[in-house]
Amino acid sequence: MTQQLRPETREFDAEPAEARRSAIDRYFRITARGSTVSRELRGGLTTFVAMSYIVLLNPLILGSSSDATGATLSTTALTTSTALCAGLLTILMGVVGNAPLSMAAGLGAIPIVAFTIAPEMTWAQAFGLVVLEGICIILMAISGVRERIINAIPLPLKTALTVGIGLYIALVGLVSAGFVTRVPDAADTTVPVQMGDSGSMGGWPITLFCLTLLLMVVLVARKVPGAILISIATGTVLSIIVNSAFDIPEGAWGRTAPELPSSLVSIPDFSLLGTIDLFGGFVSAGAVAGTVFLFTLVLSGFFDAMGTITSVGNEAGLMNSRGKIRGMGRILLVDGVGAASGGLAGSAPNTVFLESAAGVGEGARTGLASVVTGALFAATMLFTPLAAVVPAQAAAPALVVVGGMMMAQCANIPWNDGDYVIPVFLTVAIIPFTYSITNGVGAGLIAYCAIKVCKGRLREIGGIMGVLAVVFALYFGIEGVKTLFGAG
């Protein structure tokens, strides 16, 4: 790590002394981490562009469900809550955690809240469970339990998380752009996915995705500053031109069509803030079911965040030689606050986002990038129409390219050690195949512990890892547990 930073440091020694000694530089340790203010600003903007879709996606998912009373949520209010939480929490992560990690409503938790929890209780009660989840995670962070759990996991499995999340990010990008699609059940085939809509590429949206991806690959390979951001901006402009000049079928672009908005400003709707019922969910759904819901939220939020923090932190150079992330305690505390804040704002639990890797790929190394991203999210509350300008076909290439970069960590995996090969493979494969970081972590940990037990090396597992293996076994068998206790 030191050798990688030396050339950067020599470069910065040529900068004016006052720039190196600025208050911002000292607070965020910008020069010490081998970065510059311009890189941080560029990285923060890139991360915002890469994950701004959540301002549209979270309201879309939560707004499409109804609670036990049949009530639905306002799209305007959900958009405000999503942008508000993402803005304030990402700034908090930058100032307190000093890490290039951005926060927003967690993609793994949104469907749980919308389609599993809400139908069994009122929205206020569902948001109450989200707050309780955050409180649990905060207590675990304050006590140091969460950090000890993360540090107990062997370094090869943490590295596997980085690789698995890289594949996950790339797959999300390919699917978002429409390059990879699901084969309809009517096709009666065992092949689950295909290229394009019919097994081949066709149409302007896919063409622009490919062109943007190729441009980004070339610029990144040539180490052009701002390569990712330049490519996204170019792809967006071209998409707007093409969408205006040609008759593009409705829905071909996905959720976001590249059209210039008729109005740049909208009025925020804060009506969902504070609409919570902390313990009512245990009455409406039953004590056992309510506990299972809470356990699922905590487990999902815990390990999704762990995987993202570990992988993005590693890419940002925050991991030391022992596999520990610098400032992990503060980062985890902010992440717990984010989970609780999501419920208080009337949204899903907020957590660190995989798309933070896009900003890291652009050079972000400190919390200043997060402050920039957070400020842009906060501004989105007033300029919500602008969030709908960038189509997935222009932003998704960043996920594919960053995912490819994260695959380089494969070189640090001990492939000649039989104790790790299968656990690492399961972690890497199951994360993208099931769209769940938690599932991949669980499969890898259980396989690792099983191998150690069968080899008679029980002591090498450690108490924490043993407990985690049991917890994940219960997680995978949760439906059986619910049936056993009459909650199915």
Residue by residue, DSSP assigns 139-208 as HHHHHTHHHHHHHHS-HHHHHHHHHHHHHHHHHHHHHHHTSEEEPPGGG--S--EEETTTSS--SHHHHH
- In this prediction the pTM is 0.70
Structure tokens at 235: 């792809």
Query: Considering only 69-73, 303-307, 360-364, which range has the smallest mean pLDDT?
Result: 303-307
Does residue 486 surpass a pLDDT of 70? no
Burial class of residue 174 in the structure, from the number of CB atoms within 10 Å of its CB (0-12 exposed, 13-18 middle, 19+ buried): buried
- pLDDT value of residue 488: 55
Determine the straight-line distance between the first and last CA of the chain, rounded to whole angstroms: 50
User: For 108-167, how does the pLDDT look when each residue is reduced to its tens digit (9 = 90+)?
Assistant: 788 788 887 898 899 999 999 999 999 999 998 888 887 788 778 888 998 888 788 789
Q: How many helices (H) and strands (E) does the chain have?
A: 22, 4
For the residues 346-375, what does the mean pLDDT come to? 92
Q: Which has the closest alpha carbon to 374: 28, 76, 85?
A: 85
For the residues 288-314, what does the mean pLDDT come to? 81
Residue type, 87: G
Does residue 170 surpass a pLDDT of 60? yes
Residue 336: left if φ>0, alpha if ψ -120 to 50, beta else—which one? alpha
Percent of the chain with pLDDT over 70: 93
Percent helix, strand and coil across the chain, each to the nearest 5: 65, 5, 30
- How does DSSP assign 2-61, residue by residue? HHHHHHHHHHHHTS-HHHHT-HHHHHHTTTTTT--HHHHHHHHHHHHHHHTTHHHHHHHH
Does an H or E element contain 351, and which? Answer: strand 350-352
- The answer to whether the beta carbons of residues 333 and 142 sit under 8 Å apart is yes
Residue type, 64: S
* Count of all residues that appear for the chain in the document: 488
The domain locations on the chain are 24-413, 414-487
Residue type, 227: A
CB atoms within 10 A of CB 375: 16
Residue type, 409: Q
- The answer to whether the beta carbons of residues 94 and 371 sit under 8 Å apart is yes
Does residue 12 surpass a pLDDT of 50? no
User: For 421-444, how does the pLDDT look when each residue is reduced to its tens digit (9 = 90+)?
Assistant: 999 999 999 988 988 777 888 899
Does residue 331 surpass a pLDDT of 70? yes
What is the band of 1 on the pLDDT scale with cuts at 50, 70, 90?
Answer: very low
- The answer to whether the beta carbons of residues 449 and 461 sit under 8 Å apart is yes
What is the band of 11 on the pLDDT scale with cuts at 50, 70, 90?
Answer: very low
What is the band of 21 on the pLDDT scale with cuts at 50, 70, 90?
Answer: low
Maximum alpha-carbon separation in the chain: 69
What is the band of 487 on the pLDDT scale with cuts at 50, 70, 90?
Answer: low
- pLDDT value of residue 7: 43
Q: What is the 3-state secondary structure of 396-429?
A: HHHHHHHHHHHHHHHHHCCCCCHHHHHHHHHHHH
Burial class of residue 315 in the structure, from the number of CB atoms within 10 Å of its CB (0-12 exposed, 13-18 middle, 19+ buried): buried
User: pLDDT averaged over the chain?
Assistant: 85
Structure tokens at 128: 């109450």
- pLDDT value of residue 159: 84
For the residues 211-239, what does the mean pLDDT come to? 88
